[in-house]
Amino acid sequence: MSINPFLNSERQLRNGWWILIFFLVLASILMPALLVAQQNSMDVSIGLQAVIIVIASWICQLLRRKSLTELLGKFNMRWLKEFCLGGLTGAALMLVPALIMWFLGWVHWQWNPIGFSTLMSIVLLFVGVAAAEELLFRGFIFQRLIAGLGQWPAQLILAGYFLLTHLNNPGMTGDVKVLASINIFIASLMFGVAFIRTKSLAMPLGLHFMANLTQGGVLGFGVSGADQSGLLKPVFNEVPEWLTGGQFGLEASVLGLVCVVITFILIQRWDIPKGIDP
């Protein structure tokens, strides 16, 4: 029996073709935006990138005759609770290693007075980063890969893709590059399992947003190598960067890696209460 390369056994377009369609739709929207931005000597903001990914995802869902809520999860009280739970987990993910470093005398903080408008711009930046990255890496592509290949192949493919997009970040050299690469790869698995366990982007969004906001906007560490002003300014004592992550951020520290691994395991083993099982 011959295998149809385009349609599956249910006479539906195969998931690999849908992923190709997504990238084509995304490129058809993103390229004009990039050209307009270049002509006006501007950048395509992370917020606009998130909007473009939402539009591309929505168009693909329309073509599949499915709703956008299939990707995002149904917006209700459960969605808000999962978002908040993800936010608390993301904050703890950064606060725990930072407090251990402070207790061990590896780092201390100085107050960094910033205005309200600066603080709001930081919050909006990390909202955009979380929305853009989670929609791209845990949205349409990820969910089509799960449907076509299964959970773990999809997880490994997207974790590799997630890492690839961060490899050229500032400070990706030496020991920092090794630790940060492992951390970023496992962090992607952590975000992915948060979606798999809940069938919603609420928890990954909250987790990603608050991890970045706590690391950069509150503690003042770099975020994946990008310099970031925060409410506090870290002062590093005479210890190797692999212990603190240095200016790259907690993602490049041993303690940060340990906390990401533990969080990944806890979410993977999370016993979802009866009555809200996805």
Say what the pTM is.
0.93
The answer to whether residue 237 sits within a structural domain is yes
Percent helix, strand and coil across the chain, each to the nearest 5: 65, 5, 30
Q: What are phi and psi of 236, to 5 degrees?
A: -90, 135
pLDDT given for residue 265 in this prediction: 96
Report strand pairing: 107-111 vs 232-236: antiparallel
DSSP state of 230: -
3-state secondary structure of 251: helix
**Placement of tokens 């195969």 in the chain:** 14
pLDDT given for residue 1 in this prediction: 56
Residue 164, burial from CB neighbour count under 10 angstroms (0-12, 13-18, 19+): exposed
Contact assessment for residue 217 and residue 95, using Cβ atoms and an 8 Å cutoff: no
The range of the structural domain enclosing residue 92 comes to: 75-268
The answer to whether residue 276 sits within a structural domain is no
Sequence-separated (6 or more) residues with CB below 8 Å from residue 200: 72, 73, 74, 78, 79, 82, 278
The answer to whether residue 260 sits within a structural domain is yes
- Alpha-carbon gap, residue 37 to 69, rounded angstroms: 31
The length of the chain is: 278
The answer to whether residue 132 sits within a structural domain is yes
Closest CA relative to residue 53, chosen from 74, 79, 76, 71? 71
Q: How many domains does the chain have?
A: 1
Contact assessment for residue 86 and residue 204, using Cβ atoms and an 8 Å cutoff: yes
The answer to whether residue 150 sits within a structural domain is yes
| pLDDT values of the chain reduced to their tens digit, one per residue, 278 residues | 568 888 887 888 999 999 999 999 999 999 999 999 888 888 889 999 999 999 999 999 999 999 999 999 989 999 999 999 999 999 999 999 999 999 999 999 999 988 888 889 999 999 999 999 999 999 999 999 999 999 999 999 999 999 999 998 888 888 888 999 999 999 999 999 999 999 999 999 999 999 999 999 999 999 988 887 889 999 998 888 889 988 889 999 999 999 999 999 999 988 765 444 44
The answer to whether residue 114 sits within a structural domain is yes
Closest CA relative to residue 191, chosen from 207, 180, 209? 207
The answer to whether residue 15 sits within a structural domain is no
The answer to whether residue 124 sits within a structural domain is yes
